[in-house]
Amino acid sequence: MPKKSSQVTWGGRFTAGPAELMLQFSESVSFDRRLAPFDIAGSKAHSAMLASVGLITTKERDDIHAGLDAIFAEITAGKFSWDTKLEDVHMNIEQALTQREPAAAKLHTARSRNDQVATDMRLFFKFACGVLGEKILGAQRALLGLAEANRSVLIPGYTHLQRAQPVFLAHHLFAWMEMLDRDRARFGEVAAHANWCPLGSGAIAGTTLPIDREFTAKALGFVDAKGRPQVTQNSMDTVADRDVFIEFATACALFGVHVSRMAEDLILWSSAEFKFVELPDAFCTGSSLMPQKKNPDSCELLRGKSARLQGNLHTLLTLTKGLPLTYNRDLQEDKPPVFDSFDQAALCADVLAGTLQGTTVYPDRCAAAVADPALLATDLADYLVLKGVAFRDAHHAVGAVVRLAEKNAVALDHLPTEEVQRVHPSFGSDWVTVFDLKRALAKRVGTGMPGPAQVGKQFARWKKLLK
């Protein structure tokens, strides 16, 4: 027997161990140890399969399971000693198992770390998507709470950051709600894409041993809605593929973009210039120099984190671009960006929920802003359209009326009727009724519009969906 190197899993053909520097450089256990629960679940399913096809005995399987359970207990208790010399989570666990159970030497039968790590990560993605889905749901519930507490508040809606048209605050908040709901659905789709079992693909070309891939897939929950096992269909693709990593990072990055837009609206709304809202003290900080300052830090960080989430996506795309099939060690670098995206997206969802929960609205400031009659200039054009004027002509006429009001320095709805009629003869004596805000909102009856009946429907919809 040759002298055993410390790398029991692959040291057979080596006469010298890796350099200290190489160990430092190549270890991943410092970050992939968080895969331990998935790695252990994978090993239990794999050994159960090996026993079911007769490659190991049931006694060996039971010993392996008992050993893995004990190791898992140690890990959760924080008592497991991780060794960077053993490279990664897979070898740390296998080595610890080998020290306890002689049967452990058979665990890696018909398996490679390549299909093992692909399996661990797919299990991780299913878990992570579930967690993020729940957290986004929490943020959506906080958002619904804020909308409900301010049901009747109207604000100007903006385009180009210029006042455009009046909307219920709830309508604006429900725009955010739609974004968050798409994010939640997207994580569901990523989880569905992750739901294919790689085990049995081996290092690249499967195995000569008579394994049962469907058994392992079932044991690990890689099943369709009817409980049928789902196994990947090409061993080379399986160990090379990192699409789900990229899809997950994409979902996180897009969620980050959405959150950054909500954060930006909140930052604007909380400024003295708007003062539509007051952000919670618990999510703001002060200035070390200016005593009066209350800074919207949670929102600024939510805006900033989106850059990081996009960076992680970019790392993964760059990592896989041009990489020859199949597995290359480069792919070990796939995990830090994924874990960072998960951790940061989870934090963002929680911080968004907390910030929304503590936000209060200043109805008077909102009312003052939305009272600007210019917000209903489009309604005035629609008024002319109903009198038979072509929209382009109506638009032009109302533009002239707006200019007139500006020139005379009066509010749009305070111009004398005769002057307005001089601009266009189709303006009737009732033209100012257009500026009744309540009436104007009530006219927005179509699906997706900000009229009170439609917004009421959306309240009912979200209450039902977010129960």
CA angle 288, 292, 295 (to 5 degrees): 70
**Helix H segments across 35-88?**
36-52, 58-76
Q: Least CB distance from residue 184 to ligand ARG, whole Å?
A: 29
Paired tokens of 2: 């040759």
Length of the chain: 467
b/e map of 84-119 (b: 16 or more CB within 10 Å)? ebbbbbbbbbbbbbbeebebbebbbebbbbbbbbbb
314 catalytic, yes or no? Answer: no
DSSP structural state of residue 154: E
Q: How far is CA 208 from CA 109, 198, 202, 375, in A?
A: 11, 16, 10, 73
Q: Least CB distance from residue 328 to ligand ARG, whole Å?
A: 9
Q: Does 327 bind ligand ARG (CB under 6 A)?
A: yes
Q: Residue 154 forms beta bridges with which residues?
A: 168
Phi (first) and psi of residue 399, to 5 degrees: -60, -40
Catalytic position from the list 81, 160, 288, 429? 160
Q: Does 329 bind ligand ARG (CB under 6 A)?
A: yes
Q: At what angle do helices 243-270 and 335-357 cross, to 10 degrees?
A: 30
Phi (first) and psi of residue 413, to 5 degrees: -85, 5
> Which region, judged by CB under 6 A, interacts with ligand ARG, from 60-68, 101-109, 326-334, 398-406?
326-334
Cβ(440)–Cβ(380) under 8 Å? Answer: no
Measured from the CB atom, is 299 or 331 closer to ligand ARG? 331
341 catalytic, yes or no? Answer: no
Q: Least CB distance from residue 116 to ligand ARG, whole Å?
A: 7
Catalytic position from the list 287, 288, 298, 306? 287
Measured from the CB atom, is 249 or 262 closer to ligand ARG? 249
Cβ(362)–Cβ(352) under 8 Å? Answer: no
Q: Least CB distance from residue 331 to ligand ARG, whole Å?
A: 5
Phi (first) and psi of residue 241, to 5 degrees: -65, 130
Pattern 21-50, binding to ligand ARG, x per CB under 6 A? -------x---x------------------
Q: Least CB distance from residue 327 to ligand ARG, whole Å?
A: 6
Mention every residue, 6+ apart, whose C-beta is less than 8 A from residue 185: none
Q: Least CB distance from residue 89 to ligand ARG, whole Å?
A: 8
Measured from the CB atom, is 113 or 305 closer to ligand ARG? 113
> Which region, judged by CB under 6 A, interacts with ligand ARG, from 221-229, 300-308, 325-333, 411-419?
325-333
d(CA 360, CA 354): 12
Among 39, 63, 88, 241, binds ligand ARG (CB under 6 A): 88
Pattern 277-316, binding to ligand ARG, x per CB under 6 A? ----------------------------------------
DSSP structural state of residue 233: S
Pattern 113-152, binding to ligand ARG, x per CB under 6 A? xx--x-----------------------------------
Measured from the CB atom, is 23 or 371 closer to ligand ARG? 23
Residues carrying an active site annotation: 160, 287
Give residues in contact with ligand ARG (CB under 6 A). Answer: 28, 32, 88, 113-114, 117, 327, 329, 331-332
